[in-house]
Amino acid sequence: MRTAHPTRPEPQVADGAPLLALRDVQVAYGGIHALKGVSLEVGKGEIVAMIGANGAGKTTTLKSIARLLPLAAGSITFAGQDLGRLDTESVVTAGISLVPEGRAIFPNLTVRENLEIGAYGHRDRRAMGETIDDVVQLFPRLGERMKQEGGTLSGGEQQMLAIGRALMARPSLLLLDEPSLGIAPRLVQDIFAAVGRIAESGTTILLVEQNTRLALAASSRAYVLRTGEIAKHGPSAELARDPEIRAAYLGG
């Protein structure tokens, strides 16, 4: 995967400073306080996981980073830039791409059109062609289905397409929301292998995953969310041994 983009400078982070930092982020939907003050950090090149039960606020956290939800309080900084001031379009061009939950691809657009629209923020035809090549190398199945409509793909292929579409912007930070949801186990393996390769090429990943075992195996650090707050965080290997986590999320 090529990660540098001709139309976007590489985000510069000082040594030891996080690429992405959330400080006491609060989000409210109507009367419901979905996030009650989430603080987390993601370092450059890391794979960080967020785990937790349904409704803990994992998806809300990702959406607030992508500026799809208004912040009630707190701040989000990316490479020193305050994301609170940006709209979604600028967040994408700044180098953050979200793979939404439930593989929200465009069912009546062809696979190629789905990918092309991922490059929406950067109008650079040559870079777009190169990135399509990279995505096809990562997911050869997509290459065979370029002219098919997105809706005709299998669930796993649609997830690949959703990830490929997000990669089209050559993000520095990839936000993955439940990539294993409702997908055949064999394809889940393929997808997580691809996530590993994306990370190796230098892309930072923040992963939300219900499958706690998978999430902890794929990540180096993890945050546990509970009812809108960070309940625990630490190296994934340690959390996997934590008796409380084992009892709550790993089935004992």
Tokens of 230: 């960070």
Calpha distance 189→186 (Å, rounded) = 5
181 binds other proteins (CB under 8 A): no
Residue type, 41: E
Does 87 participate in binding other proteins (rule CB under 8 A)? yes
Total number of residues binding other proteins (CB under 8 A)?
47
Distance from C-alpha of 116 to C-alpha of 57, rounded to nearest angstrom:
31
How far apart CA 26 and CA 117 sit, in angstroms, is: 31
Amino acid (one-letter) located at 87: D
Least Å from the CB of residue 5 to other proteins: 13
Q: What is the pairing mode between strands 32-42 and 221-226? A: unpaired
Task: Give the shortest CB-121-to-other proteins separation in angstroms.
Answer: 4
| Residue 96 tokens, joined | 């953050």
Q: Would you give the end-to-end CA distance of the chain in angstroms?
A: 38
Q: What does the per-residue mask of binding to other proteins show for 124-143, with x meaning CB under 8 A?
A: -xx-xxx-xx-xxx--x--x
Question: Residue 168 Cβ, how far from other proteins at the closest point, in Å?
Answer: 8
> Least distance in Å: CB of 68 to other proteins?
6
Q: Of 207 and 216, which has the nearer Cβ to other proteins?
A: 207
Q: Contact residues for other proteins (CB under 8 A)?
A: 66, 68, 87-89, 91-93, 97-100, 104-109, 112-114, 116-118, 120-121, 123, 125-126, 128-130, 132-133, 135-137, 140, 143-144, 146-147, 162, 165-166, 168-169
